[in-house]
Structure 1
Amino acid sequence: MSWPESQFTPEPAPRGAFRARAAGLGGAALIAGGAIAIGVAMLAQQHAPQPGATAAGAIGPAGKGPSLHRSVPVSVDIPAIGVHSELLRLGVNADGTVQVPPLTTGADEAAWLRYSATPGQIGASVIEGHVDSYRGPAVFYRLGALHPGDTIDVTLADGETGIFRVTGVREYLKDKFPANAIYSDANYAALRLITCGGAFDYATGHYLSSTVVFASLTSSRHPSSH
């Protein structure tokens, strides 16, 4: 489960402690970006787009690039795949796995991991979303269709919008999920989008892989600049 930010949300865990737990649980379904998602796979027999070899690109940019001050993200827009979503805010479960948006009420909304950097800060900022739900395609259904060069806009609470450029799109088996590369700090303003992907295991009701989009901040805009 996850929840929007509220007075009931626990205080953030120390950044180093979270990274250690993330690395240790890299093969778990939740830390790899998805819980049970059976709507499209079992009912409609559709399959979400999967990243091809030509989309693998790079995990990060050639240089450090720009950065923004810390400000909580409120929405994400991905023009190339028609995504606009307000952002929930995720915590971690007692066992250290990352919480995911509830399938019944949050499948159409992406969620920011509130223990990661805010988008545009130096470090790794993580946004997750379901690929499908019991009703059909969910917010990140077409995430695997992105390519290097596509843009991701993240609007922050201070009014600034960070503009990120996709550098690579990759699919990882959940039992080989590179948690250190995904969740650890980066020396540039990194953004990682995660959803389920790959083959669907009908016996367990889980996807066997995760789709990860790597992006970095290239610029920003503020309403006052228009």
Structure 2
Amino acid sequence: MRTAPPRGDRRALALGLAAVACAAAGVTAAFNGHRDPAPQAPAAPPAWAPPRTPVTVDGLALPAAPPTRLTIPALGVRARVARAGLRPDGTLQPPRPPDEDRPAWYIGSVTPGETGTAVIEGHLDSRAGPSVFFRLGRLRPGRRVRVRRADRTTAVFTVDAVRRFPKDAFPTWAVYADTPGPSLRLITCGGRFDAAARHYRDNTVAFAHLTAVTR
């Protein structure tokens, strides 16, 4: 398993990366089984492929600038963005205290708005209750996701699809591989909580592409 994929395919990591944000995310479900389950995205059919990302309009792609704030109006999400790297085994490190309830940008991906695929993960829940991406499965195509960047620009993405994948059949390349234009993936846990393994069985992924830039 490579822990530092070369530029060009570094987002398409080994299958272990599918377990994003799930290592500790089931804690609330384990202790509070009476709580309503999180909204779930439709399960993906076999051999599902993401919608084709439209080629970006000339000049819309942005230079590199780290994300600082994530806003998803349809879900009531407005949060500062933390950063996430890789564990020694090459899997993505989920947000840790004191940032466990914040979304985290994977620093091995492009910054949101750059050409390629930017990845932001977030927990479904934590010991404190529902976390930042608790309602990600409720997001629908056409909704907007806004990412404020350190250069004071805001990259506005439009959601193409939201799907749920079993972790043992996670479409790694479809999620992490670079796209011709700027795209965004929002990732959290999904499906049933496996009490024995102490993690959720699936991942929910929102696919989006850049449609506007504001300053």
Tell me, yes or no, whether TM beats 0.5: yes
Residue 61 (1) aligns with residue 49 (2): no
Q: How does 1:1-226 map to 2 (within 5 A)?
A: 14-16=6-8, 18-19=10-11, 22=13, 24=14, 26-27=15-16, 30=19, 32-42=20-30, 43=32, 44-52=34-42, 58-65=50-57, 66-102=60-96, 104-222=97-215
Q: 8 Å contact 1:60–1:190 — kept in the other structure?
A: no
How far off its partner does 1:18 sit? 3.4
CA-based RMSD of the aligned residues comes to: 2.3
Q: 1:99 to 1:67 in 2, by over 3 A?
A: same
> One-letter code of the match for 2:25?
A
Q: 1:116 to 1:122 in 2, by over 3 A?
A: same
The C-alpha deviation readout for 1:153-180, integer Å capped at 9, x for no partner, is 0000000000000000000000111111
> One-letter code of the match for 1:97?
T
> One-letter code of the match for 1:69?
P
Structure 1 portions without partners, runs of 5+: 1-11
State, as a whole percentage, how many aligned pairs show the same letter. 42
Q: 1:124 to 1:208 in 2, by over 3 A?
A: same
> One-letter code of the match for 1:205?
R
> One-letter code of the match for 2:66?
V
SS in 2 for 1:203: coil
Q: 8 Å contact 2:63–2:113 — kept in the other structure?
A: yes
How far off its partner does 1:53 sit? 6.7
SS in 2 for 1:217: strand
Q: 8 Å contact 1:57–1:169 — kept in the other structure?
A: no
> One-letter code of the match for 1:164?
F
How far off its partner does 1:29 sit? 5.5
User: Take 1:174 and 1:74, find their aligned partners in 2: how far apart are those partners?
Assistant: 29
User: Take 1:18 and 1:184, find their aligned partners in 2: how far apart are those partners?
Assistant: 8
- TM-score, reference length from structure 1: 0.83
Q: 8 Å contact 2:50–2:174 — kept in the other structure?
A: no
Q: Number of aligned residue pairs: give it.
A: 205
Q: 8 Å contact 1:15–1:115 — kept in the other structure?
A: no
How far off its partner does 1:93 sit? 1.5
> One-letter code of the match for 1:59?
P
Q: 1:13 to 1:166 in 2, by over 3 A?
A: same
Structure 2 portions without partners, runs of 5+: none
